[in-house]
Structure 1
Amino acid sequence: MKKKLITVLVLGILSLGTTEILHAQTASAKTVNTTIDKSIRPFRINIPEAKINDLKQRIIHTKWPDKELVQDETQGVGLGTMKSLADYWATKYDWRKIESILNSYPQFITNIDGVDIHFIHVRSKNKKALPIIITHGWPGSVIEQLKIIEPLTDPERFGGKAEDAFDVIIPSIPGHGFSGKPSQLGWNPERIAKAWIELMDRLGYNKYVAQGGDWGNAISENMALMAPPALLGIHTNMAATVPGEISDALAKGIPPAGLNADEKNAFEQLDFFYKKGLGYANEMSLRPQTLYAIDDSPVGLAAWMLDHDDRSQKLIARVFNGQREGLTKDDILDNISLYWLTNTGVSSARLYWEASQGSTAGFFDPRGLKIPVAVSVFPDEIYAVPKKWAERAYPNLIYFNKLDKGGHFAAWEQPGLFTTEMRNAFKSIRKEL
């Protein structure tokens, strides 16, 4: 049962094939001709003002529960945090600012395997730039990666060198953001990985790398398992490296003997997460359709998203308590508002259900990747990967680095550090091009 919960824990998407459009039969031969719609259409966001006004009114008319009976977060997101968030959301927050920022980047839609895929695509001026497809997780979105687009595509303006340049592709997972919502079952991380491979092929890239954390890691690792010749390597900031004996020990709640300091820390983090932090993942993997409230109440959606992991929730609570952190109030509400305005609370939750169907492997179980893998370890992630585990999980480990600051939303919270990690992680791959 524990492994089932681990599987279904945070994060992915799967195969996206190609859409076949049935054309007219010829009356004489009565043969069926098919063609593949690979068109890529420009996309621009323009949320109706009525939706924004409705959001504010719903926030104002929130029916509040009683205050928690503890002085910490052990009962969930505190009433004080949520009231502070709601007040700012209803009276000071301006969606149009982030909408304008999103629209300042080239955005597109293409249909893959019957689902419209939204993505940001920014090409570097450097013709030798390394293409990278970066995938968000839950409760994230393409907003997580906005701060790293310019430093990656135009490194000379941000302390880098011309040879550090990337072409950046950031897709929205199906059921999330401005991508379409699957109308059929089967959209798991493997299927999304296939879709991403198809997307990169449509964009004309015959050599590229992939990056992801959370579901983004599951998708990137599945791309690596499929190992298309064009995929040169992947980078993860939420690696799947937990050895089998550690998973067994976690199920018993007793750490094995002989762990080094990093392994003990990782064990304690995982033990906490599986015992006290998996509530959201359990519900979404088992009964996502039950979560009507997160598509009906903005504050309900916000609380559900804030309670993703303990360290992120505490950071956000500090932000709404007036402290300065790597994220701002607007950052946090940009992402929550995106989910609300696209009505993707429940549709995004279904990914957990899809990933749990027929799988017994844990989310953090090694997948047996053979291609080059780079790992960045941020201390406040759900668990900080020990190098010893990474070396076992990834026999072709080309880069490993422990950071002093940062958590689950690393690119969003620490864009400078994250950008440096991307440049360093793929240096050896660039040398081979």
Structure 2
Amino acid sequence: MAARWTDDVAAPPSVAVAPELSPPAGGVLPVVAHLPGTLLEELRDRLRRTRWPREVPGTGWTRGTPVAALRPLVERWATTYSWRAVERRLDAVPQVVTLVDGQRVHALHARSHEPDALPLLLTHGWPGSTLDVLDLLGPLTDPVAHGGRASDAFHVVAPSLPGAGFSAPLAGPGWDHVRIARAWVVVMARLGYERFGAAGGDTGSVVSPLVGRVAPDRVVGVHVHASLDLPALTDQDERALTGSERDRVAWGRSRAAVDGGYAAVHATRPHTIGAALADSPVGQLAWVLDKVHDWTDPAHPDPLGGVDPDALLDLATLVWATGTAATSANLYLENRVAPAVALPRSDVPTGVALFPTDPSVRLVVSREHRITRWTELDRGGHFAAWEAPDLLVDELRAFFRSVR
């Protein structure tokens, strides 16, 4: 285990500030994640000196994140918010780094004390990070203490996507979804897991099935949620849609019509937007809030879906402090330019949890995957780990029960 740190003593080598950290060839290195106090003070200073933009009056959220939504969060960020509280939570979870194909990969590695726990690979999305899963680790690794059964226990491995968070710096171009999936298989082998489940949302809803496709002999099951991809529907498919499917597809099409600007920028000019976001923590927060507003449960009365404000500040702090705005967005460009890879239909058992903002259609998903569980939930949104962690944990337990 890596040594612990406090603010009163010199910190041990940290993945957050030591890009030269080099794990042994083919091995893993225990690490901690400690941001230097000087960087956090610079953050507070920049927040206090924010130069606010002028806006078109009376437009609310229709043109992006409004200053009225930003101001109270920035005030909290600059005064009472504590990144050290996040580090204490991270310090309670073993963390490792390893080099795969020249790329540094950071991962949370939370083992269960249950002897028959199933290894579970959890992949986050954008905007997101491994911080998203911190509230899931207790229920997943120690289900008895959280109202579950010992037989539902998992050993959880949650990597940071290449170029995101502490999986930085990005070693070079070419890190698309398929390459990440292949790297994840290597990471699991280095941690000693030959047989495991794969799950995730957003980017994780794409990478997790790919892990099952590139290593079908090792992946016992795949569970996904929070896909934003519109299904490719034929005219016959359109006629066969159920009422709930029509509503979901309609929401997805409406979102795509007004909400694609961020993705177009990421997929074409990640370095340009990255320069702005790396320099301005408030700009970084606004970029995140725009998506949280648009993708959280539309039935929730809170414009941000009831997401804990500190979770948003945790994410914005992580991205700004690690300087990974451009490299985390780079994945959109890589997938746009990546050569097509023909992969066979997956026969790995697959579960899908549909939260209210997921536009997936079972008929379409079934063409590429063997669906063994399909659940439509009436609460939560795209950010299930933040909005409805209880439902997400229940779904993971229920699905993987059938494939252990």
Distance 2:350 2:396 in 1: 12
Contact 1:132 1:208 in 2 (8 A): yes
Which deviates further from its counterpart, 209-218 or 261-270? 261-270
Pairwise CA distance, 1:223: 1.1
Out of 373, 385, 399, the residue aligned to residue 360 of structure 2 is: 385
Pairwise CA distance, 1:312: 3.0
Out of 99, 104, 109, the residue aligned to residue 87 of structure 2 is: 99
Equivalent pairs, count: 379
AA in 1 matched with 2:157: I
Contact 1:175 1:181 in 2 (8 A): yes
Pairwise CA distance, 1:353: 0.8
SS at match of 2:348: coil
Deviations 1:7-40 (A, max 9, x none): xxxxxxxxxxxxxx9xxxxxxxxxxxxxx81121
Alignment of 1:156-167 (within 5 A): 156-167=144-155
Deviations 1:347-376 (A, max 9, x none): 111111111104579xxxx98332111111
Residue 399 in 1 paired to residue 373 in 2? yes
Contact 1:239 1:375 in 2 (8 A): no
Partner of 2:295: 311
SS at match of 2:346: coil
Partner of 2:40: 52
Pairwise CA distance, 1:183: 2.9
Residue 370 in 1 paired to residue 353 in 2? no
Partner of 1:332: 312
SS at match of 1:183: coil
Distance 2:299 2:308 in 1: 10
Partner of 1:187: 175
Distance 1:317 1:94 in 2: 27
RMSD (Å), alpha carbons: 2.5
Pairwise CA distance, 1:121: 0.6
Pairwise CA distance, 1:388: 3.8
Distance 2:122 2:271 in 1: 28
Distance 1:344 1:316 in 2: 31
SS at match of 2:264: helix
Pairwise CA distance, 1:317: 9.8
The percentage of aligned residue pairs carrying the same residue is 36
Residue 409 in 1 paired to residue 383 in 2? yes
Pairwise CA distance, 1:106: 0.5
Out of 335, 344, 366, the residue aligned to residue 355 of structure 1 is: 335
Distance 2:205 2:69 in 1: 30
Which deviates further from its counterpart, 219-228 or 291-300? 219-228
Partner of 1:273: 255
Shift in alpha-carbon separation, 1:107–1:316, aligned structure 2, 3 A: farther
Shift in alpha-carbon separation, 1:388–1:294, aligned structure 2, 3 A: same
Partner of 1:426: 400
> Can you give the 5+ residue segments of structure 2 that lack an aligned partner in the other structure?
1-21
Alignment of 1:77-116 (within 5 A): 77-116=65-104
Shift in alpha-carbon separation, 1:216–1:280, aligned structure 2, 3 A: same
Which deviates further from its counterpart, 259-268 or 275-284? 259-268
Pairwise CA distance, 1:70: 3.3
TM normalised by structure 2 equals 0.87
RCO greater where, 1 or 2, for CA within 8 Å and sep 6 or more?
1
Deviations 1:211-240 (A, max 9, x none): 011111221121122134111111000348
